[in-house]
Amino acid sequence: MGKLKDDSNFQIYGWMATKLKLKGNELLIYAIIYSFSRNNKGEGVFNASIPYLQEWTNSSKQNVIDCLNSLIRKKLIIKLEDNSRKRKPNVYRTSEINFYQTGKESLLAQVNKVDQTGKESLLAQVNKVDQT
């Protein structure tokens, strides 16, 4: 294959396993797409080939396709362009539900769901997250 360079890397965050409940090749593929999505001030996309993902995961083409489809069904990634007929890589990015990186958005969502007395406590948590 040879698309993967020796200095290629990506990061797996704990929330990907604990909050999103990902494991195995789905975890690896999600983390790779997430790393590309963070480029360009968060406006990046993943448009590398399936062989690139095969090389990272050491798995078959069908396994990579199945993982991508599963991540789409779980609404964790979005297929922006289907270029399969053009014989070019499809374009993916992570969906907007990835609020685990700071926790702030998740806490703000909770604020909207609780009664007035609980808001002060949760707002304090939001402010604490902002300061870190």
- Report pLDDT digits (tens) over 21-40: 999 999 999 999 998 888 76
- 89 phi, psi to nearest 5 deg: -65, 145
The pLDDT of residue 13: 93
Average pLDDT, stretch 98-127?
A: 52
pLDDT higher than 60, residue 105: no
Q: Using 50, 70 and 90 to split pLDDT, how confident is the model at 95?
A: confident
Q: Would the pLDDT of 128 be above 60? A: yes
pLDDT in the model for residue 81? 87
Region 42-46: mean pLDDT is: 76
pTM of the entire structure?
0.69
Full DSSP string of the chain: ---S-TT------HHHHHTS---HHHHHHHHHHHHHHTHHHHT--B---HHHHHHHHT--HHHHHHHHHHHHHTTSEEEEE--GGGTS--EEEE-TT-GGGTSHHHHHHHHHHS-HHHHHHHHHHHHHHHH-
